[in-house]
């Protein structure tokens, strides 16, 4: 069963959706390319008129430290296999104005990725290559990063579980911007294809702009979100077919400054899957727990 883990962790990247900068990978998985998620019309439960004082994204230039820790356990309870991985990702995000018909021109630059102690050497070596990797695209008013193109597509694919192409690095905002007390619901769908596999995810995201707080030295709205999701997929690992299905949930706290800057936050995500390996006749239960913090650097 030890050879099962790489493909399971690779598949879990799609299951978790790469929240707040992506998920952590096991040594040397083959990662699929990522299609940007499709946000279906939101369903506001406390609608508010468009207001000039509502908080919306706008031009900014910030540096972030993203710390992602991942615990993966696979196998039956009497013989579980557990893996703990983690990394610190240093990111520079630049959003330029004015917006065009799609959104704001935006770039995410990976300055470096530093693995936590205990990271297997093959993975640590791969992470050390992630310097000045740039993703260029458009940031939509509601927070989706779309049309992202990497300066090195091969390197970007190998790091897909850490970075997730930054497709949902920024928190989702309601159509008319944030105002204290507003709540709304988004339905998000995403599919990852490539490397002989395809994994789909459908999530229901419920969000609330809780209250004004001081965070990172700025007046900010505290954004609280919970999500539940279903995941399914199929593919091949070392020429052997597999399929998977499962579900998960996540909680996220984010801070958006009054001038529209994303000031970081914290998320926790838990996924339970069953991976079926047809040739071996195995049904492998897998649990992944992810903890992510995002902080603004000076």
User: Which of 279 and 208 is assigned the larger pLDDT?
Assistant: 208
- Asked if pLDDT for residue 57 goes beyond 60, the answer is yes
Q: Mean pLDDT highest for which of 147-151, 152-156, 248-252, 275-279?
A: 248-252
Rounded distance between C-alpha atoms, residue 280 and residue 166, angstroms: 36
User: Which of 98 and 296 is assigned the larger pLDDT?
Assistant: 296
Rounded distance between C-alpha atoms, residue 261 and residue 295, angstroms: 12
pLDDT, tens digit (0-9, with 9 covering 90-100), for 180-208:
999 999 999 888 776 677 889 999 999 99
Share of the chain above pLDDT 70, in %: 80
Q: What region does 210 belong to: left with phi over 0, alpha with psi -120 to 50, or beta? A: alpha
Q: What is the per-residue pLDDT for 41?
A: 44
pLDDT band at 52 (very low <50, low <70, confident <90, very high): low
- Tell me the pairing of strands 240-257 and 81-95: unpaired
Rounded distance between C-alpha atoms, residue 201 and residue 192, angstroms: 9
**Strands (E) located in 258-298:** 262-277, 282-297
Rounded distance between C-alpha atoms, residue 263 and residue 246, angstroms: 32
pLDDT band at 161 (very low <50, low <70, confident <90, very high): low
Rounded distance between C-alpha atoms, residue 110 and residue 91, angstroms: 5
First to last CA, the chain: 45
Closest CA to 24 of 119, 166, 162, 168: 162
User: Which of 20 and 90 is assigned the larger pLDDT?
Assistant: 90
- Asked if pLDDT for residue 239 goes beyond 60, the answer is yes
Contact call for residues 169 and 108 (beta carbons, < 8 A) = yes
- Asked if pLDDT for residue 294 goes beyond 60, the answer is yes
Q: What is the per-residue pLDDT for 257?
A: 97
Write the DSSP symbol of residue 57: -
- Asked if pLDDT for residue 270 goes beyond 60, the answer is yes
Q: What is the per-residue pLDDT for 1?
A: 37
pLDDT band at 95 (very low <50, low <70, confident <90, very high): very high
pTM of the predicted model over 0.85? no
- Asked if pLDDT for residue 35 goes beyond 80, the answer is no
User: Which of 44 and 227 is assigned the larger pLDDT?
Assistant: 227
Number of helices followed by number of strands (H, E) in the chain: 4, 13
Q: What's the mean pLDDT when you consider all of the chain?
A: 82
- Asked if pLDDT for residue 3 goes beyond 50, the answer is no
């Amino acid at each position: 069963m030890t050879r099962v883990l790489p493909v399971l962790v690779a598949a879990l990247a799609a299951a978790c959706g790469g929240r707040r900068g992506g998920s952590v990978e096991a040594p040397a998985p083959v990662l699929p390319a990522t299609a940007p998620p499709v946000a279906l019309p939101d369903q506001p439960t406390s609608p508010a008129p468009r207001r000039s004082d509502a908080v919306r994204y706008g031009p900014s230039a910030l540096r972030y430290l993203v710390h992602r820790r991942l615990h993966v356990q696979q196998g039956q309870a009497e013989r579980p296999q557990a893996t703990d991985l983690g990394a610190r990702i240093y990111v520079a995000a630049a959003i330029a104005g004015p917006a065009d018909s799609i959104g704001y021109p935006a770039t995410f630059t990976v300055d470096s990725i530093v693995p936590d102690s205990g990271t297997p050497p093959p993975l640590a070596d791969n992470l050390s290559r992630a310097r000045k990797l740039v993703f260029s695209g458009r940031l939509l008013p509601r927070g989706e990063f779309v049309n992202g193109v990497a300066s090195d597509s091969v390197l970007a694919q190998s790091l897909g579980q850490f970075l997730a192409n930054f497709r949902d690095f920024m928190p989702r905002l309601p159509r008319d911007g944030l105002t204290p007390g507003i709540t709304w619901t988004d339905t998000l769908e995403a599919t990852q294809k490539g490397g002989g596999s395809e994994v789909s995810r459908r999530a229901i995201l419920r969000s609330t702009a809780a209250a004004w707080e001081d965070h990172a030295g700025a007046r900010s709205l505290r954004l609280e979100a919970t999500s539940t999701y279903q995941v399914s997929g199929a593919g091949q690992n070392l020429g052997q077919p597999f399929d998977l299905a499962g579900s998960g949930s996540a909680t996220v706290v984010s801070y958006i400054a009054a001038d529209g800057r994303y000031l970081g936050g914290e998320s926790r995500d838990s996924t339970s899957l069953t991976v079926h390996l047809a040739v071996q006749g195995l049904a492998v239960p897998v649990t992944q727990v992810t903890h992510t913090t995002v902080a603004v650097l000076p």
